[in-house]
Structure 1
Amino acid sequence: MKNIMNKGQLLMMVLAMLWITSIGNAIAAAGDKKESALGPGDTLKIFVFGQPDMTTEVKVSETGNITFPLLGEIFVDGLTPSETERKIVNLLESKDILRKPQVNIITASLQSQMVSVLGYVRNQGRYPIEGKRRLTEILAMAGGIVPDGADQITLIRSGGSKYSKEVIDVLEMIRSGDLTRDLNIRSDDLVYVERAPRFYIYGEVQRAGVYKLERNMTVMQALSVGGGLTQRGTERGLRIQRRDTEGNLQILTAKASDLVEPDDVIYIKESLF
């Protein structure tokens, strides 16, 4: 009988060691990330060593509370998982429920730490930001910028009752290698990718239509995008319809080397000879 008890105790010790190891591995995997504060909607897995009845999975309520066995409601909104662990430990000890309890918390999901990505990305939506996430990482999570998307990203973030707006040139940042503009994204930030600037071309070109305006594109390059001139087309007398800063329509005579501006309408005339 004694041997049976010893084997049972040994088995319990092995299981306990495996449990501690699994918890430790999960914590170590997240150890390199800065902890995010908890908030409504977050789901937590709480483990109390040696107390399986207290092991539970809870969701932070809209009021910022969780419900824990024998303790009832505990306010955790704004606390990190580590701070929540210490708070539960202190409550268990102060109420004489357990002595020196070992509490571990794993965040199953952080619904309160979300960023919105809208506009010309492959997958618009809200994405979790557990730990530090940079702008390029968030764009990658959203599937990247679609071909019609602009190279410049608008970042809108809340500062209490006020909002700030910042425009980040992603293409220039990557070309220059200056990643200081690859900002850390915070909860409730809005990342918006606008449509890329466009130009219009019609008249005696092979493929009249609307096209994406590349940086520093010349009229000659715009003609190439449109498939070039038809047999009746001519480069003489090129016209560009362009609106000024007040919205008034202007008709300009253009040269092949002139730069095209957003929303320009290029007209190719028919040759008279």
Structure 2
Amino acid sequence: MDIQNQKYEFSLEKFYQNRSIIRTISPQVLESELQTEKYIIGPGDIFKVSIFGEVENEFEAPVLPEGNVLIPTVGVFHVSGKLLKNAKEIISQALKNNYLKAEIAVSLSGLRKFRVYFTGEVKAPGTYFAQGSDRLSDIIEVSVVEAKQPDEVTSSLSDWADDTNIKITHKDSTFEYYDLSRFYRHGDKSQNPNLKGGDIIFVPAIDLKKSYVIIEGNVGFQGIYALKKSETLFDFLTRVSALSKKSNLENIIIERSQN
């Protein structure tokens, strides 16, 4: 493999040529119940309001583009940016003040969709729809469908992608780095975060100035991989899913460069 001649820079032209807007998964497909103390309300979320007692009524109240929710005969309330728990309390209290002898139930019946941006060493860069229950891995997995010749594509990341150092930048310019390989190998959800509206997901190329490994031979996992600090051969092969019951570790040949 000719490392020096390999081109792996990200092209903005390619980004716009492959720009696509899709839904990641069907609405309301959740891995667990929403946590009211963590989910942040935004435009497009839909509340269901039920009133029981002397007055019987049930209706849906969407969060409008300006971040307000309109409750008929009660008023307009700004809930965008608030935790689900607090938004429900605001709506419930306003209804209780208006319907003194009624029982009030407020729930979230629909999740909003928002845009996230998938960039870097990926095969189908572009804009994707997501919702609050979607994680980083959901975007990466669904983008396989958008790649060229999807029947032949098993990963939406390029051969030069470093999935141990994925950067997610939020709308407020804060950012974090994630090692997605730990989620796929060990089920570590802390390395597979839920996405937020406007997130920019950047998958970097493997840094050739740092440690890397090239796997060659008659195997299905050929390619170039980033080598993590203090990682042993066994740890590395395990992380990249290169080991199986049929693996013969006695036939591994290691060649090291002099650099």
TM-score by length of 2: 0.50
Counterparts of 1:258 and 1:70, CA distance in 2: 75
Q: 2:130 aligns with which of 128, 131, 143?
A: 128
Counterparts of 2:110 and 2:76, CA distance in 1: 19
* Pair 1:86–1:170, CA change in 2 (3 A): closer
| Superposition deviation, residue 65 in structure 1 | 0.7
For 1:193-204, what aligned pairs fall within 5 Å after superposition? 193-194=203-204
**Match for 1:57: what amino acid?**
E
Kindly provide the CA deviation profile for residues 142-190 of structure 1, in whole angstroms up to 9, marking residues without a partner as x. 4473263514253232384x43352x44447645x38376142341432
Contact map agreement 2:130 2:195 (CA 8 A) in 1: no
Counterparts of 1:173 and 1:92, CA distance in 2: 43
Kindly provide the CA deviation profile for residues 77-117 of structure 1, in whole angstroms up to 9, marking residues without a partner as x. 2334443333223212323x3424222323312235x5433
Match of 1:208 in 2: none
Counterparts of 2:103 and 2:77, CA distance in 1: 17
Contact map agreement 1:155 1:189 (CA 8 A) in 2: no
Determine if the alignment matches structure 1 residue 91 to structure 2 residue 83: no
Number of equivalent positions:
178
Determine if the alignment matches structure 1 residue 146 to structure 2 residue 143: no
Of all paired residues, the percent bearing the same amino acid is 17
Contact map agreement 1:82 1:105 (CA 8 A) in 2: no
Contact map agreement 2:46 2:111 (CA 8 A) in 1: yes
For 1:135-174, what aligned pairs fall within 5 Å after superposition? 135-143=136-144, 145-146=155-156, 148-149=158-159, 150-152=161-163, 153-158=165-170, 160=172, 162-164=173-175, 166=177, 168-171=178-181, 174=184
C-alpha RMSD over aligned residues: 4.3
Unpaired runs of at least 5, structure 2? 1-27, 145-153, 223-254
Match of 2:194 in 1: 185
Contact map agreement 2:180 2:192 (CA 8 A) in 1: no
TM-score by length of 1: 0.48
**Match for 1:83: what amino acid?**
N
* Higher helix proportion: 1
* Higher strand proportion: 1
Task: Specify which structure has the bigger relative contact order, considering alpha-carbon pairs within 8 angstroms and separated by 6 or more residues.
Answer: 2
SS in 1 for 2:44: coil
**Match for 2:213: what amino acid?**
N
Counterparts of 2:45 and 2:96, CA distance in 1: 25
Give the greater-gyration-radius structure (CA). 1
